[in-house]
Structure formats: C-alpha cells, structure tokens
Structure 1
C-alpha cells in the first residue's frame, strides 16, 4: 500500500500481487480504509490478466477510465547496452523540476522522485533553460526510467533519444544491465521511441477503483 499525497498513480495505490491472505473483498476493504486514512482515492494497481483481476471486478470495482495518465499502461524493458551512449550527469536543477513536475514542487513530489540511494536527474539545457529531462534510479541490476519530458518547442529533434542514451550509459556504470519504464498505451510516440531503442512490452496494468456508492 502506497500513499504520497496524490502524486502519481503508482505512489498512491495498492499493488495487487500474490495472496492477500484474506478474501479479495476483505482485502479491498482494507485498501479503502488505508486510502481514507491517508486522504487519497482508493485504487488498486492490477496487472492485466493477473490472478485476482476477476475477483476485484466481482467485488464491484471497475477500471479507472478517468485516470489522468490513461486507463492502461505498458511496462517495457530493454537491454541498456543496445542504446547506451555516453553518460548522463546528475543534475538536480530547478529547471529539471519545473519541466517534469510543474512550477510548484510539493514535498510529496520531491519524496517520490528524489528518494533512493542511486538516482540520476539528467537534462539538456539551451540558453540556460532545461528543454529535456529524465529521471533514472538503479536498484540492483535494473534501471528504472521515469519522467522523460521534452518541451513542445524542442520535440522531434532527437533530444529524448539522446537523453535515453546518456541515462543508459549512466545506468551501466552503476551496475545495471536492463531498463524498465512505464508508458500510457495512448502515448504512441513514446512507445515508438522505446521500441526503436530495443525495448519490448513486458506486461500491462490498470488502476481499479470502487464504484461510487
């Protein structure tokens, strides 16, 4: 169970994997209680086709079609050596936060994005302005990629590909061999980019929420 003041779906939902140890409706009741206690919307992070998906539906929950990031997301993975180029620096710049998180950065945002022992904030600047940014975090041999963003005025110039290559280089030097990233199913340009870098779909997931009573 995860709560972070509503910032991102993953950080404010209950991951449903394995046996909850109680009937699914009882487990979902605990999810609702946890959400109420932390002031967030109750949500279950469910892998498509997983063992408990039907039981969650039978309990009266439904896919959150209004989720800001889209109803369904892909998890893609790939080998870093296929697209690593150079090495990104770790730049915790104000412009990085403004581009990836907004003009006013909350404590929850800094906690979610800044936590971890091996985190990289990479960016590309032009005339003192951050025009592209990405976050990477290495856990064991896996590089988690998140918050890839390019300003609209600088898209279609290869900046996202450049950043991914630099981040992959950094990840290799930290001992990672594989990357994992999550992308909304409707974000076709991003999916195309990651596919061109050699990443493939590992699985999909959706957020489920209780029916409004």
Structure 2
C-alpha cells in the first residue's frame, strides 16, 4: 500500500513496523508522534516532543494521521528531569561536533561557549566512570581544548566528578541556573511591530552579541537547529535575542541591549516577540540559562512565569 506523504511542519502520529514479531505473531508495530522535519522517497524525519529527531523508513509505515498541534493534556515544565532537560537544551545549542559516549555527549565547537565545548554528563557513559573520564580527557586533548564537564549541581554525577578530582570552573561563566516556564496559547504574547525575526544571524546581530571570536563557529552552532529565530529591534540591532524550538520546548538566549538604548523596555519586547514566535512554532514550554548573579536577567524573565529548575556547573580536572 502506498501512502501519501505528510507535509513538512505537520504534527502527525505514524504507525510503522519495527521488524520484530508482535504478540499475536504478526509484525510488531510502534507509534511515533511529532512534527515532520523532512520527507523524501525513502523516509520521514519526525521531531519528537523532546526535540529528538526520529527517522522512519517509509516502506515500514502502515498508517499516519494528523494530530492537534497542542495536545489537550501536557506535562508541566517544572516536571521534567534535570538531565532530560540538559539533553533538550543541548539540542537547542548544538555543538559543531557531537560524539556520544553512552548517554553522555562529547561536544566541540572551536571553543565557542562552554555549552558547545564540554561533555554533557547525563545518564550512563556505558563504561566504568573512571574510564569515561579518561575518554573525555582524550577527546579534548585531541582537539587541543581543555576538558570540561557540564553537570547538574547536586546530582550523583556531580558528586562522582568531585571525588575524581574535577573541580568547579572558576569565573563568572563557570555555571548557570536553568529556569523554565509554561507558555500560554497563541495570542498570549505580542509580536512587536518593530521586531525582525530572521533564521540567520547577520553581522549586526553578531556584533551586538559580543561573545564571538570566530563568526563561522558561532553561526554553525546558533543557526543549526531547524527552527531558530534571531530577533532584532532597531538598526543596527539596538536589541537582540535568539529563540529556538525543539519539539515542545523553546529556548531563549542572547538577549542583549546596547548600553545607550537601555531602560526603554527593549529587552522585554525582545522576550515577548521570542515567546510569540515560539508558540507559533509549536512550543508550549520554555527554558533559559543565565548566571544566578545576573539580577537584571532574572527580573526580566520573572513576569513571564520563569522559575528555577536546576543549576549546572562546569567541572575541570584539578591536575
């Protein structure tokens, strides 16, 4: 049986054969739910609720149908496990090079940000802990980069890293608080009439972001997700922000305002436009990462319902 292919962007449920044998002796089936990212003659690529893409062989598909973009029942943002959220945030800020080590993710991106140049320590590495740390050291040594581990503060992994002699990284950017919020329905947030949202980071946007030593590396990381918007108000980019949607989650980052344009509400307008864009692209939850000492940022996001979820820290070998 030949089935019509769903359109890219459609939220669907696909039933397909797994290749195994079901309980009644027939083909084993499973369902995949998510938004269609890509379609070709051989496969469907579906983005699931956590942003993880799933490729389904079209020859194995038995049925598919559209489903509502926003399920009636949903999991609250605060209910997600911290390590699962770490994996989601990593998909929203993907490294140029990503290598799995069991459930850990070795990330490298020319030293553009700690998030893209550290091992995300979540789940099991699939080998003894000390052996995994040796693999981490080797990975970064081969790339002439310092070994760093991003880990949830207070987790068992955090305690194991401390016991192995990995100390918290010094400095302002040695970690962050992750906050989350449940998003309202379409129409809750206003897309500012003066705001521009582009799928690419132009030179003016990058110059305002200010943390860029190699524009190619920065663009490779920040432009990589399938659904990403670079928000700007004013010329040349008096205020900027970045919003990404992976599955049901939106990630906000890089909200910056020129010093001479502050105290005019531009940051709030960037955030509200970002949330309007996110809801329009299927998100019903959002996260952000900022320094716990950044009172201005925490105050900016508080009216939008953002609350603390967890803290993470970067650890590095002490010797």
Same-fold status (TM-score > 0.5) = yes
Q: Aligned partners of 2:148, 2:280: CA distance in 1, in Å?
A: 36
Q: 2:203 is matched with which residue: 91, 94, 114?
A: 94
Closer/same/farther in 2, CA of residues 103 and 38 from structure 1, 3 Å limit:
closer
The reply to whether residue 19 of structure 1 matches residue 128 of structure 2 is no
Q: Which ranges of structure 1 fall in alignment gaps of 5 or more residues?
A: none
- Confirm or deny: 8 A CA contact 2:231 2:242 kept in the other structure: yes
CA RMSD of aligned residues (A): 1.8
Residue 102 of structure 1 and its aligned partner are, at CA, apart by 5.3
> For the residues of structure 2 that align with 1:104 and 1:95, how far apart are their CA atoms?
14
Report the 3-state secondary structure (helix = DSSP H, G, I; strand = E; otherwise coil) of the residue aligned with 1:179: strand
- Give every structure 1 segment of 4 or more consecutive aligned residues whose post-TM-superposition deviation is greater than 3 Å: 101-105
TM-score by length of structure 2 reads: 0.62
**Aligned 1:192-203 pairs, distance under 5 A:** 192-203=299-310
Contact 1:80 1:169 in 2 (8 A): no
* Structure 1 contact 95–130 (Cα < 8 Å) conserved: yes
2-side partners of 1:12 and 1:109: how far apart? 12
Query: Take 1:45 and 1:64, find their aligned partners in 2: how far apart are those partners?
Result: 10
Structure in which a larger fraction of residues adopt strand: 2
Q: SS where residue 90 of structure 1 aligns?
A: strand
Unaligned runs of 5+ in 2: 1-105
Query: In structure 1, what is the equivalent of residue 296 of structure 2?
Result: 189
User: Does 2:147 align with 1:42?
Assistant: yes
Structure 1 or 2, whichever has the larger Rg, is 2
Aligned pairs for 1:52-201 within 5 A? 52-66=157-171, 69=173, 71-81=174-184, 84-86=189-191, 89-91=196-198, 92=200, 93-101=202-210, 105-125=214-234, 128-201=235-308
> Normalising to structure 1: TM-score of the pair?
0.91
* Whole-Å separation in 2 of the counterparts to 1:44 and 1:102: 21
Q: 2:196·2:233 contact (CA, 8 Å) conserved in 1?
A: no
Moved more, 150-159 or 55-64: 150-159
Q: Name the CA distance, whole Å, in 2 between partners of 1:41 and 1:84.
A: 41
Q: Once the 2 structures are TM-superposed, how far is the Cα of residue 95 of structure 1 from its aligned partner?
A: 1.1
